Amino acid sequence: MGTAARGSSVVIMQETSHESRKGRGVGASIRRKEDARLLAGRGRFIGDMRFPGQLEAAFLRSPFAHARIRAIHIPAHLKGRAFTHADMVGVKDILARTGLPGFRVSAQPPLASGKVRFAGEPVVMVLADTRAEAEDLIEEIGVDYEELPANHDMLRAVEPDAALVHDEWPDNVFLVSQTDRHFDAGTLAGAPIKVTRKVRTSRQCMSPLEGKGCIAVYERHVEQLALWTSTQMPHIVRSGLAECLGLDTRQIRVVAPDVGGGFGWKGLLQPEEVCCAWAALRLDRPVKWLEDRREHLIAAANCREHHYVMTAYADTDGTLLGLDAVAHVDAGAYSVYPFSACLEGAQVVSNLPGPYNLPAYRCRTTSVCSNKPPIVPYRGVARTGVCTAMELMIDAVAREAGLDPCDVRMRNLVRPEQMPFTSITGKDFDMGDYPESLRRAREMIGHEAVRARQQAGEADGRLVGLGYATYCEQGAHGTSVYHGWGIPMVPGIESCGARLTPDGTLEVRIGAQSHGQSMETTMAQVACEVLGIDPAQVNVVHGDTAMTPYSTGTWGSRSAVMSGGAVASACERLGERIKRIGAHLLQAPEEAVAIRDAEVVGPAGSVSFAEVAKTWYLAPQNLPADIHPDGLDLVAGYRPTVDTGTFSYASHAAVVAVEPETGEVEILDYVIVEDGGVLLNPMVVDGQIYGGTAQGIGTALYEEMTYDEHGQPLASTLADYLLPGAGEMPAVRIDHIQTPSPNTRFGQKGIGEGGAIAPPAALGNAINDALKGLGVELSMSPMTPRRVRAAVAAAREGAVS
Amino acid sequence: MKAARFDYRRPATVAEAVAALVEDGAAKPVAGGQSLGPMLNLRLARPSTLVDVAKIPGLRRVEERADGVLYGAAITHAEFEDGVVPDPTPGFLARIAHGIAYRAVRNRGTVGGSLVHADPAADWPTTLTALGARVALAGPSGTRELALEDFLLGAFSTALEDGEIVTGVFVPRCSAGARFGYRKSCRKVGEFAEAMCAVLADDVRGVHRLVIGATEGRHIVVTEAKGVLADPRLLDERLASAGLAADPSTLRLHRKVISQAIEALNSESLPA
Ligand SMILES: Cc1cc2nc3c(=O)[nH]c(=O)nc-3n(C[C@H](O)[C@H](O)[C@H](O)COP(=O)(O)OP(=O)(O)OC[C@H]3O[C@@H](n4cnc5c(N)ncnc54)[C@H](O)[C@@H]3O)c2cc1C
């Protein structure tokens, strides 16, 4: 895949760029530093760790989606090893409040209390020397439940007679988010084209390679509870945990060791983390929990479930006149900390119009509370759903108008001369040429040739289809945006610690966390860009609250922009201090020296960072007594000039072959033209895009967590929950446009989630294009063989009868 | 997802394995563990003892005869795939093995385990039935042999009796010009099939067999298949009585896969 063809790309480098970084700074595709350990199997994940005296936890989980707990029977010999909510005296529920008016707060007890609200909710924690023994002990515990009607379908759950998930609420609604911009039903009624569609995206499980896991251990020498946990957001977990346990934040340290993917699943405070931390304090023994695949599938990591009813109004030439949408998000039983149950709903309302000029827009989104695991923001968050919904609509408009969908997109996309552009929902697109991404994708996929092939037909009777999708990805959005969304965590200024060590090598410390994003490499490249230091001489320390400055963590496609900017700021500030000492050693005025290649260079010679550091730390007698006391260790902050986020964007184009009778879909070709601004490391960006695209293909064709009418999850192993594997991945071809963001340090934009956004739309449109001649149109992801062949059979049998 | 407690034994001979199973009625054989392992971890299977048959020499034997090859039950999918065992067909077995799951599963999974697991959507049960294979069994009351279609009684159900193990499977020799067509419709590589059909056309021997797998119960076996090869619609009634025509799209799926398997007789008849 690394050999995928790449078209031309424009790299705009900052002026600071100079020869001496030897292609290792910003923009260089250097190999990943972390791979030396990860590819050799020498990473250190929670599963690899074991503390002396450690106990392992297993959770007795609710078999019912909705039930009252009447009694819990724990045999006497399990005393001190099995714990219920009643034992956790003083521990507070997990609360994700939002500032949004009307939002209903759900209290999530770390162990179920009184009621269970989804199948898989933890009810009893059992500790033993090994997980297997803990699972044996669980079998000795009995729970009496009184089953209640389960809300398994969000559209049913909002009806007046639905059973209440939270008894004290008047209905099962977390929040209704809405907007109305210039929407005049009267005027739009006269629109020549009017298409209405229902679109549904299935519930998914996020499925990082490594599941969730943690070990809590009380560290007596620092009087701190250390929580080693597989997280993307150590500082946030620290605050949330302190709140639940009633401790000061200073009494807790959170450390993320190697983390094998997160995708949002590891961006939360988990009930199991609270339980393990509490038990470690109570028993004064390390307590470990490692989520297994079954727990992952049934008991928590759910995302993506949206339902839309949309009407698009357009002119005969495909120009969009207005969009009217009613959406529902199945947010599950509880509001997760810190993202809340409403981030998805808020994003639906504000992101649905996507990258289009839309004169009129109305949207009402209900975040529904149901008897399913809480919805968690997954790579792309609501944007995958809205992109699917919007892009299927664009194709539906094109079909109705008798136009090529690519032309309809072209007609409505925001144009470069409109930049910087403010969308109908107030999104400030930074820079870029959206139509160009589509033009290039059209060319790369060979639009005309595919159309000719379609005309000719396939020898094996399969039907070929071509589909497009264009989207934009707001990333690294800051204070103003998140304050508006009202979630309990509002990101502000990002910090980085930079420290020159006594031998002249560099430590940069960031509070974000790299769990596959290659930040140990890209952040070292940023340091190289600023200080000219070899990335191999830079240690990127991350994921440990004791060693890093505060950060909300890695999420929202923010780290390249925010941590990248912070590393640059810290290195610049450190550079000033290095120069001050270097100038003294060179007997030159500070203004006359510069930093180049990890050296301070003066008019008559240079000193290395090593010499500077050695002098400062180990031979201070060689410095004047009145030298400035600020040393070679500092923390600096950063935020972009405009904090409403970067807007990367891409056009995806897909060619599929559909076997109409079996419903099998083969991806024949897939191209992506992406604008991520200046790429810190293009190879890493391609990796992010490939990985995201694989997940998007999962959403499009494979992944689905279904529930029966009792709220029982129907896919409890990977035999039922299908993830795309190597065999399902096409050789994706990527091209880059690099329009620098005017607002970020190097012109970089957030791209981490993008790959996962468009595939369901592009593939869905391609499948519908293939089936067009049969009068078949699907509008539900995943488009499984069963759904495809059922739709085809219905059309064919209908035509026969 | 950890197995409940069990004991583990590794008998050296078939007789010892049978004795171990007779001694403890709650014991179970294990070979590659690729089907049993997940059942243990989900605690759906809770044997008191696992009797590991994977390394018993009698189950690792391969005996080439004039009329076919007798494979020990513990021959792995990978050994078929790699051609390290002889093949009495023009390359069919390696091709089938190659399409089972992923290599990691094929390295451990055995032909005997697959037949005893008796998943109607698995590859060996359907294809070996089409090839007219016979199963060799050993138990407390001696040895016996059964045609595969008589051994496979339904979904996850076989004629294996208490204390009995499968020692081998005999695959009859095909003529050089025999053709084999095989199709399965899977949601992804290595997934169990939603529909499958295997067809053998060996004109020289006068053998024409068609087997439909991925059924709800027993495989659909057509032993004199010349007629249905010419007109697959003759199978509609059998599909219906097997519950595979419940809705139009399911019926159309099976029909399509059957016709693809028959078409494949021509395109895929050469050794892999
Ligand atoms: C991810 C995955 C994907 C798979 N995909 C496919 C696929 O695409 N197609 C396919 O056909 N299969 C597939 N399989 C199943 C695989 O082929 C198994 O290897 C096979 O079904 C069982 O063989 P085994 O040797 O592993 O048996 P085991 O798991 O060890 O045993 C299975 C059963 O057979 C019994 N048993 C084993 N050997 C004997 C014996 N000699 N005598 C009596 N009883 C015995 C055991 O007691 C048990 O009941 C897949 C498995 C996995 C894990």
Tell me the pLDDT band of B144, cut-offs 50, 70 and 90: very high
CB A329 within 8 A of CB A305: yes
Helix, strand or coil, per DSSP, at residue A41: coil
Q: Which two tokens stand for residue A644?
A: 């409403």
User: Is B1 within 8 Å of A792 when comparing Cβ atoms?
Assistant: no
Question: Does ligand 1 have an atom closer than 6 angstroms to the CB of B112?
Answer: yes
What local confidence, expressed as pLDDT, does residue A5 receive? 38
Q: With beta carbons less than 8 A apart as the criterion, state whether A177 and A347 touch.
A: no
How far does chain B reach from its first CA to its final CA, in angstroms? 40
List the strands of the sheet with B134-139, edge to edge. Answer: B62-65, B68-72, B165-172, B134-139, B142-147
> Residue A562 and residue A570: Cα distance in Å, rounded?
12
CA distance to partner chain B, nearest, from residue A721 (Å): 11
- Which helix (DSSP H) or strand (DSSP E) does residue B123 occupy? helix B123-130
pLDDT at A798 over 90: no
Which of A115-119, A343-347, A700-704 has the least mean pLDDT? A343-347
CB of B126 sitting under 6 A from ligand 1: no
Which whole number is the average pLDDT over B78-94? 97
A56-114 per-position pLDDT tens digit: 999 999 999 999 999 999 999 999 999 999 999 999 999 987 778 889 999 999 999 99
User: Phi/psi of residue A354, each to 5°?
Assistant: 55, -145
Give, using CA atoms, the residue closest to atom 4 of ligand 1.
B101
- The single residue listed with the structure tokens 């099998």 is A664
CA of B32 to the centre of ligand 1 (A): 6
Collect all residues of chain A within an 8 Å Cβ-Cβ radius of residue B187. 702, 722, 784-785
Strands B49-52 and B7-9: parallel
What average pLDDT does this structure show over A687-708? 97
Q: For A571-600, what is each residue's pLDDT tens digit? A: 999 999 999 999 999 999 999 999 999 999
**Helix/strand/coil (H/E/C) assignment for every residue in A329-341:** EECCCCCCCCCCC
Question: So what's the pLDDT on residue A127?
Answer: 98
Is the minimum distance from the CB of B192 to ligand 1 under 6 angstroms? yes
Q: What is the arithmetic mean of pLDDT over B104-108?
A: 97
Q: Which residues of B touch A294 (CB under 8 A)?
A: 1, 42
User: Which amino acid makes up residue B208?
Assistant: H
Residue A760 confidence (pLDDT): 98
Task: Tell me the C-alpha distance between B57 and A711, whole Å.
Answer: 49
Nearest of A505, A452, A519 to residue A748 by alpha carbon: A519
Strands A122-128 and B193-202: unpaired
Q: Is A633 exposed, middle or buried (0-12, 13-18, 19+ CB in 10 A)?
A: middle
Residue the block writes with tokens 């529920």: A93
* Confidence at residue A159, expressed as pLDDT on a 0 to 100 scale: 97
Helix-helix angle A382-401:A405-412, to 10 degrees: 110
Q: Half-sphere exposure (CA, 13 Å, Cβ side) for A603?
A: 6
Note if the bond before A603 is cis, omega within 30 degrees. Answer: no
Please classify residue A367 by burial: count the beta carbons closer than 10 Å to its beta carbon, then call 0-12 exposed, 13-18 middle and 19+ buried: buried
Token pair recorded at residue A206: 């996020």
Q: A434-483, pLDDT tens digit by residue?
A: 999 999 999 999 999 999 999 999 999 999 999 999 999 999 988 888 88
Which residue, A749, A627, A741, is CA-closest to A685? Answer: A749
The whole-number pLDDT of residue A485 equals 73
Task: DSSP letter for A342, please.
Answer: S
The DSSP bridge partners found for residue A71 are A144
Contact criterion met (CB below 8 Å) for B210 and B197: yes
Band the pLDDT of B268: cuts 50, 70, 90: low
3-state helix, strand and coil shares in percent for chain B, rounded to the nearest 5: 35, 30, 40
Residues B186, B176: Cα–Cα separation, whole Å: 30
Cα end-to-end span (Å), chain A: 48
- Comparing A145-154, A620-629, A779-788, the range with the smallest average pLDDT is A620-629
Given this model, what pLDDT does residue B67 score? Answer: 97
The answer on pLDDT for B14 being more than 50 is: yes
Scanning the structure block, which residue is given the tokens 């009447």? Answer: A70
Over pLDDT 90: what percentage of chain A? 91
SS3 B167: strand
- The residue whose C-alpha atom lies closest to atom 10 belonging to ligand 1 is B122
Q: Do B2 and A132 touch (CB under 8 A)?
A: yes
How much is the pLDDT for A3?
37
Q: Which amino acid is it at A476?
A: A
Instruction: Tell me if B197 sits within 8 A of B182, measured CB to CB.
Output: yes
Topology classification of domain B60-172: 3.30.465
Query: What residue in A sits closest to B195 (Cα-Cα)?
Result: A662
SS3 B128: helix
d(Cα A757, Cα A699) in Å, to the nearest integer?
A: 9
Q: Which of A131, A136, A294 sits opposite B4 (nearest CB)?
A: A136
| CB-closest option in A131, A724, A789 to B249 | A789
Q: What is the enclosing helix (H) or strand (E) of A94? A: strand A94-95
Task: Render A198-266 in DSSP notation, one character per residue.
Answer: EEEE--EE---SS--EEEEEEEGGGTEEEEEE--S-HHHHHHHHHHHHT--GGGEEEE--S----TTTT
Distances (CA, A) of B227 to A45, A400, B234, B255, B262: 60, 47, 8, 15, 12
Which DSSP state fits A647? E
Q: Which of B114, B144, B156, B169 to mutate to test the pocket of ligand 1 (most atoms within 8 A of CB)?
A: B114
Please list the residues that pair with A507 across neighbouring strands. A499, A539
Please list, in sequence order, all residues whose beta carbon lies within 8 angstroms of the beta carbon of residue A621, skipping any fewer than 6 positions away: none
Domains and CATH numbers, chain A: 207-299 (3.30.365.10), 302-480+642-800 (3.30.365.10), 493-638 (3.30.365.10)
A719 burial via Cβ count (<10 Å: 0-12, 13-18, 19+): exposed
CATH of B181-267, one of 3.10.20.70, 1.10.645.10, 3.30.390.50, 3.40.50.720: 3.30.390.50
pTM of the predicted model, to two decimals?
A: 0.95
pLDDT score at A63: 97
Chain A residues near residue B42 by CB distance under 8 angstroms: 294, 716-717
Sign (positive or negative) of CA dihedral A786, A791, A795, A797? positive
Please give the biggest Cα pair distance in chain B: 54
Query: Quick one: CA torsion of A643, A753, A200, A439, rounded to 10 degrees?
Result: 90
Residues of B in contact with A727 (CB under 8 A): 188-190
Extract the tokens encoding A624.
Answer: 């004047």
pLDDT at A22: 62
H helices of A619-771, where?
682-697, 759-771
> What would the pLDDT profile of A730-779 be if each residue is shown by its tens digit?
999 999 999 999 999 999 999 999 999 999 999 999 999 999 999 999 99
Distance CA B43, CA B66 (A): 45
* Six-digit token string for A240: 């949330």
pLDDT at A797: 86
Are the C-beta atoms of residues A252 and A542 closer than 8 Å to each other?
no
Contact (Cβ atoms closer than 8 angstroms) between residue A519 and residue A540: yes
Q: Which residues of A534-545 are buried (b: 16+ CB within 10 A; e: fewer)?
A: bbebbbbbbbbb
CA A406 to chain centre: 28
Model confidence over A233-257: pLDDT tens digits? Answer: 999 999 999 999 999 999 999 999 9
Distance A609 CA to ligand 1 centre (A): 62
The Cα–Cα gap between A60 and A81 comes to 13
